[in-house]
Amino acid sequence: SQTHIPIVAYGPLSPYLEEQLKARFRVHEVAADADPTALDGAVREARALVSFGSVGASAAIMDALPRLEMIGLFSVGYDKVDVAHARKKGIKVSNTPDVLTDDVADLAVGLLYAAVRNIAANDRMARSGKWALGQQVALSGSVTGRRIGILGLGRIGRAIARRLEPVASEIIYHNRRPVAGSPYRYVQDRIAFARESEVIIVATSGGPEAHGLVDAAMLDALGPQGMLINISRGSVVDEDALVAALTEGRIGGAGLDVFVNEPQVPEALFTMDNVVLQPHQGSATINTRKAMADLVLANLDAWAAGKALVTPVI
C-alpha cells in the first residue's frame, strides 16, 4: 500500500480521479488558483502533483513543493507545464496520450460539419419558431469535395485525416517536418498550405513553438470561403487576428473548442452564425475521461513502485 505518500491534487479534479487517488495516497487538495507561496507545511511535503490541461504546473508550484518527484497530468497537452524547469529539477512528468485521440478527432469532424452546414445556427432558427413562420434556410457550402488541410499530423491529426478520407477531395498537411509513410501531401510552406486548404484543422500541440502559428497572413491565405477548426490549443491561433478576419469576412467561418483565455470566449464571436463554439469538450466523454483518469493512476502507481512511467513526457 502506498497510502502514506503525500501528494497534491491540483484541482478540482474529477470525482472518480479524486476518489481513486485517495485510495492510494495521502491527498492534499489544492485549488489551482491558490498562491503557491502560501501552502501550509503538510502540503509542502507532497512528492507528487496531479494536475490537468488548462492548469498544468508552473515553476512556482514546483518550487513550492521541495520534495516533488512526479507530475501526473490529466491531459495529453502539456503546454501549461514548465517542462524545462521540471527537467532541471529531475521531476518526472506523465500525460494521457492515445486514450483521447478518437473522441477529440470525432469532435473536430463534428465541428467541421457543424460550421460548414450551419448546424448550430439552423438549430437556433428552428427553435426560435422562425422556420414555422416561413423563414427559408440559408444555403451553405458542402463538406464533401473539400481539400482539407491538417495542421499538425500527430496522433490526433492522423485520426482526423482518416475520418475525412472518404469525403475530402484531398488531404494535405503542414508539420514541422514530413511524416514518414504518410499517405497525405506535405506542404512545407505554411502560407502555401493555407492557400491550398479549403478547411484548416488545427491539431498541433500547443506551447511556445506553435504560439500564434495561425496568424493574419495564414487566415488571409485560407480566404473568404475557408473554414478554421481548432481542437488543439487557443494559443496556436492569433485570436485577435481570427476575430478580425471573421468580422471582416476574410475567412468563411470557424469551429472552435479552444480559446486563448479559457473559459473566456471573445464576445465578438457570440453573434456570428458562421462560428460554432464549444466549451473545450474534445476529451469530455464518459469513456475517455475514465480512461484518462486510469492512465494518470497507472503512471502514479508506476512512479510509486519505482518503475518506468507508462506514458512519460520526460
CB-based contact 80:93 (threshold 8 Å): no
Closest to ligand 8YV by CB, 19 or 273: 19
Is-contact 184 171, C-beta < 8 A? Answer: yes
Region from 59-67, 68-76, 86-94, 207-215 binding ligand 8YV, contact rule CB under 6 A:
68-76
Selected binder of ligand 8YV within 30, 61, 76, 219 (CB under 6 A):
76
For residue 76, give the DSSP letter. S
Q: Answer whether 27's CB lies under 8 Å from 9's CB.
A: yes
Give me the catalytic one of 233, 239, 250, 289.
Answer: 233
Residue 101 touching ligand 8YV (CB under 6 A): no
Site for ligand 8YV (CB under 6 A): how many residues?
9
Nearer to ligand 8YV, 25 or 52 (CB): 52
Nearest residue (CB) to ligand 8YV, 77 versus 253? 77
Which residue has cell 471582416? 248
**Of 129, 80, 92, nearest in space to 261 by CA:** 80
Active site residue 262: yes
Q: Is 267 a catalytic residue?
A: no
Cell of 10: 491540483
Q: Pick one of 11, 56, 77, 226: the residue that binds ligand 8YV (CB under 6 A).
A: 77
Q: Which residue is nearest to ligand 8YV (CB)?
A: 53
DSSP calls for 253-275? EEEES--TTTT---GGGGG-TTE
CA 114 to chain CA centroid, Å, is: 18
Residue where the block lists cell 518526472: 92
Cβ distance to ligand 8YV smaller for residue 151 or 168: 151
Binding to ligand 8YV in span 266-305, by CB under 6 A: 280, 283
Grid cell, residue 53, equals 490541461
Query: By CB under 6 A, which span of 15-23, 72-80, 181-189, 303-311 interacts with ligand 8YV?
Result: 72-80
Neighbours of 266 (CB within 10 A): 18
CA distances from 73 to 96, 144, 173, 250, 258 (A): 7, 37, 28, 38, 18
- Is residue 254 within 8 Å of 242, Cβ to Cβ? yes
Establish if 202 lies at the interface with ligand 8YV (CB under 6 A). no
Give per-residue burial for 14-47: e unless 16+ CB within 10 Å, then b: beebbebbeebbbbbebeeeeebeebeeebbbbb
Q: In this complex, which beta carbon is closest to ligand 8YV, that of residue 75 or of residue 311?
A: 75
Among 7, 8, 71, 74, binds ligand 8YV (CB under 6 A): 74
User: Could you tell me how many helices (H) and strands (E) the chain has, helices first?
Assistant: 10, 12
For residue 125 the three cell numbers come to 432558427
What is the nearest approach in angstroms of ligand 8YV to the Cβ of residue 267? 22
233 noted as active-site residue = yes
Minimum Å gap between C-beta 206 and ligand 8YV is 8
Among 46, 49, 61, 75, binds ligand 8YV (CB under 6 A): 75
Q: Which residues form the catalytic set?
A: 233, 262, 280
Q: Which residues bind ligand 8YV (CB under 6 A)?
A: 52-53, 74-77, 100, 280, 283
